[in-house]
Structure 1
Amino acid sequence: MKKISIGPLYLQVRSHMKSRIESGEWPEGSVIPGENELAEFYKVSRVTMRTAIKALVDDGTLVRKAGFGTTVAMNRSSMSNFTLVRSFTNEMNEMGLPSKTMQVELRMIEADVILASIFGIQPGDKLYNLRRVRGTVVPIQYCDTYLLPVVEIPNDKEILTGSLYAFLTKQNVFFSHFEEVVTAVRAPKPIRQALLIYDEYTPQLKRKRFSYDDRNKLIEYTETFYHTEHYEYRTEIFYRK
């Protein structure tokens, strides 16, 4: 395979595969070649090939179907037509850094007045609450997600530490648009402790994300705090024809 960029080999393979999808060589819904065939084509090991495919599955570009193979995701407005912000895992991968979920907790809660107002529901209505601390070798991100129970989220470590959007897409939950607000704040003490921030006066980035389905219904609301000594907030906006 001709190298197309500098960086980990699996990222080069992933980028080239994505180009083949966007060019129409592999149409939506089509089954891509098998792992062995692709590894031979790209002249890489099966481990590298498997990692590249997993990255495309995690970002919603590919879909694995048991007993059927790996297919190109169908054109749905939430995942195919545009991308607003890369996932934390993909951001770290593209920087060549390892990423992991250091703490995770999933619970079902009753909406308080503030959450009920945000979602347009009644106080006491049920919401999923997923809290995660994620980072590399140090904690970087404290993520507090609230989600309408439109599907059941199993208390499964692999799912909870992976991409929430990839899981929802596999459950046929799609988003039409997102709204984000980014501010500089002093993080509350429990969050500073989770992120190992020892100076209470150091401002941190706080991002609020509102995720809507194709009926303009708010499905997910997330508050994320970033350790500014270890993170730059990045966005990537493009339209996939």
Structure 2
Amino acid sequence: MLIAIEDAVEECLFMTVVSDDRYPFDPTAVSSDRPLPLYLQLADHLRQLIVQGALADQDVLPGEREIAERFGVSRVTVRKALQILAEDGLLDQRQGSGNFVNRGKRVEQPLSALTSFTDDMRSRGMRPASQWLHRGISAATPEEALALGLRPGEKVSRLRRLRTTDGTPMAIELATVPCRFLADPEIVTESLYEVLRGAGYPPFRALQRLCAVQLTADQADLLHVPAGAAALLIERRTFLEDNTPLELVRSQYRGDAYDFVVELNLSGATRESGGSRPSSENRS
């Protein structure tokens, strides 16, 4: 009886939604000719539509019956695909209401201030955390030696981690610090900057370079987005007050979760003269 009611309700949804072809589904994205199970193919296709913005935040998906009809698969396949997306946090499954797109919270970070990821997230009332991918000491690469003003072969501490906010993966970060400033990378548990300040090496200023990149399969897997998804690569060199290089960081930030904001002043404008202070928001 319950199944019959569910089918009847879903049939009504199908009749009202199928004529409204507003869902950018591509039936060719799911095929039995591919080795990947159908439910994983469907989940990957829907995930890509969500991440790329083709399905907007809080959009409600059509019922299982219509999705099954669109892709030529069973409702069991659809249900398994939707469950995967729900577990990944990309869908809110509301009893009696349907499946709603959840693109997650976006974080705005100003580029005018030098703050750590931990400090920045805490200041917003969010819960930062890290998953350590690597902590160790080894010889600096030629690129690292040049950026940090080191002798060839000088030892550096490397800290690679997945940065999360309220449980959502946000960035992959690789920080490289000369061992004379950080002799033991294992002592860093949360904020690297807190450890450096405590050791008497407070970060003073930084130079950053930003560029758009596509994530590799391994990077995308860590960030819970499709392989090849857009991301923002940030390379930062941090200095002590006497201009001694302190840190080199390379980070890949999720393009669907981070907004970097820059305030720009008109050349020659001053507060005293009443010059305007336009701002520019750069979205990754």
TM superposition score normalised by structure 1: 0.56
Q: CA RMSD in A?
A: 2.4
1:93 to 92, 112, 122: 122
Once the two structures are TM-superposed, the CA of residue 234 in structure 1 deviates from its matched residue by 4.5
Q: Which runs of 5+ in 2 are unaligned?
A: 1-111, 265-284
Taking every aligned residue pair, what percent have the same amino acid on both sides?
Answer: 22
Once the two structures are TM-superposed, the CA of residue 236 in structure 1 deviates from its matched residue by 8.7
CA distance in structure 1 between the partners assigned to 2:142 and 2:174 by the alignment: 17
Q: Which has the larger radius of gyration?
A: 2
1:231 corresponds to 2:258: yes
Aligned position for 1:115: 144
1:192 to 220, 227, 240: 220
CA distance in structure 2 between the partners assigned to 1:236 and 1:164 by the alignment: 27
* SS of the residue 2:260 aligns to: coil
CA distance in structure 2 between the partners assigned to 1:189 and 1:122 by the alignment: 34
Moved over 4 A (4+): 234-237
State the aligned residue count: 152
Residues 207 and 236 of structure 2 are in contact (CA less than 8 Å); yes or no, is this contact kept in structure 1?
yes
CA distance in structure 2 between the partners assigned to 1:164 and 1:84 by the alignment: 16
Change (3 A) 1:146 1:236: farther
Name which structure has the greater RCO, CA cutoff 8 Å, separation 6+.
1
CA distance in structure 2 between the partners assigned to 1:209 and 1:119 by the alignment: 11
Q: Deviations over 1:71-105 (max 9, x none)?
A: xxxxxxxxxxxx82332223333433322112342
Counterpart code for 1:120: G
Counterpart code for 1:233: F
Once the two structures are TM-superposed, the CA of residue 155 in structure 1 deviates from its matched residue by 4.9
* SS of the residue 1:147 aligns to: strand
* SS of the residue 2:237 aligns to: strand
Q: Which runs of 5+ in 1 are unaligned?
A: 1-82
Q: Deviations over 1:172-229 (max 9, x none)?
A: 11233211111111133332222122131x2201111111123322110001111122
CA distance in structure 1 between the partners assigned to 2:164 and 2:217 by the alignment: 19
Counterpart code for 1:109: S
CA distance in structure 1 between the partners assigned to 2:153 and 2:131 by the alignment: 30
Aligned position for 1:38: none
Counterpart code for 1:134: R
TM superposition score normalised by structure 2: 0.48
Counterpart code for 1:217: T
